[in-house]
Structure formats: structure tokens, C-alpha cells
Amino acid sequence: SIVSAALIAVTIIIALFSGCSKNTSTPDEATADTATSDTAATIETTLNIEAQAITDNGLSIDKDGNVIDKDGKKVEPSEDGKVKIKTDDGKTVEVSADDIKKADSKNSTDNNSSYSSSSKNNKLNASKNNNSGSSSGSSSSKSDTPKQDDGKTYHEAVYKTVHHEAVTEQVWVVDEAAYSYEEPVYETVGAVICNTCGADITNNKNAHGESHMLNDENFSYHVESKQVQSGTKTVNVPEQGHYETKTIKEAYDEKVLVKEAGWY
């Protein structure tokens, strides 16, 4: 009918209009969007390469705002304030102090994130281990319970205490060390003694007697024994000490099993 034909025509027009409105950009605009996206990706890649090169070369900023390398030595920038460094593939890139600060900040953030993740994993593992240990302990405790046998009574193990005396030995303790000394040696000899003056005239008997006679004095003598040192001898004195009791092993009590636990 005419009405149906009109409705179909209107539907077709609406569909065509909707299709046209979905893509309103021109080919030039689409190309521009793609170029912008590619440029952003290139910039991001370049920044990542520079940041990695900064990390690999160990560059950082000291408290005075100077660029220093991994050895703490100051790196002199060029006239434009940038520092030339090498990348892994041997290319040379220039970075500024701001680039180095950003790289340091990024590394710090990445390290903190890594530490936080590791800490969480450790806590989870510890919790699992504790739960596992508790479960194992409960199971072991249950298995230790003795089973009852019909007609028998369970008895605990019987022990006795055996006392062991201390083990000792006698030890020599030195009070005075051994030493030696020289002692004089004497021998008995006959000595001629003047009866008038008491002098020893063993080797001068005649001359001594004449002197007394010249002085109108009586002279006589007698022979007596006399101790004369003939030399020395070495006397060795042994060390002096005493014995003491030394404990080798202390006394102790031992718990000895007399009868095992069980049903009987």
C-alpha cells in the first residue's frame, strides 16, 4: 500500500543518515590522529630509553644540584645544561637535570611497589605455614591417644631414678717448685796448736817455738782435730705439693624406664 511504501522510504532515509553521522571525520583528520598517536608513542619510548640510560650510568643529583655519576664524581654538562650518556645499544643521548630527577623518582616508586608486593606475599606464606602447622599438630595429638583394648586397663609408663655418683680423680698440686743449691763439704784434719798462745802452728811449728824461747817463754803444743772445707756439693730439693680431688663428671640422676605404658 501507499502507507507501507512511505514507511519503508522513511526507514531507508533514517538509516542512511545514521550511517553518515557515524563517521564525520575526514581522511586528513584520521591521518592526523594516527600521526599524533605515533608521535606520542615515540616520545614515550625515547623517555624510557633515556630513563634506562640514566639508571645504567648511575646518574643522580647531589644536594647542591650537580649531576654526579655512580662513583660520586661530578659530571660537567654542556652549554645547554645537558649531559651526554651512552645507551645499551651504544647510542648517545642527552639528558637534563630534570630528566635525572624524574628517573630517580620513578625508580624509587618502582622499588617501593616491589617491596610492598614482596611483603604481602611473605605475610600470606607465613599465614599458610602457621595454619598448616596447627593442622599438623592437631592431627599428631589425636594420633597419640592410646586405643583401649577390651578387658584391659591402660597403665602409664613406670620409671625409677638411678643416682650416679660424681667421677673424681686425685690431682697433684705444686706448692713449691723444685730447686737446687750448693752446700760446703768439710773434712777432718789434724791441727798443731800452741799451748802458750793458742795459735795454729801446723805449718810453722819450729819457727813459732823459737820465738817463744827467745822471749824466755815456755813453748809446747798439742794436736787436735779440725773441720776444714774441702769443696762444695749440689743439693737438689724436690718440689713440694699435695693432692686434691678434681671432679671429672658431676653426680646426676637418671630416669630409667621400668615398665612401658600400655594396656594390660
**39 and 107 share one domain:** yes
**56 and 98 share one domain:** yes
Q: pLDDT at residue 222 above 90?
A: yes
Whole-number Å distance between alpha carbons of 66 and 71: 14
Whole-number Å distance between alpha carbons of 12 and 106: 56
**223 and 257 share one domain:** no
Mean pLDDT of 2-11: 53
Number of compact structural domains in the chain:
3
Which pTM does this prediction carry?
0.28
If we measure between CA atoms, which residue out of 217, 216, 210, 214 comes closest to residue 196?
217
Q: pLDDT at residue 175 above 90?
A: yes
Mean pLDDT of 230-252: 96
Query: pLDDT above 70 covers what percent of the chain?
Result: 65
CB 100 within 8 A of CB 67: yes
Range of the domain at 42: 26-111
**169 and 249 share one domain:** yes
**164 and 253 share one domain:** yes
**7 within some domain:** no
Q: pLDDT at residue 219 above 50?
A: yes
**164 and 252 share one domain:** yes
CB 98 within 8 A of CB 61: no
Half-sphere exposure of 3 (CA within 13 A, CB side): 0
Q: Maximum distance among all alpha carbons in the chain?
A: 207
Whole-number Å distance between alpha carbons of 255 and 262: 19
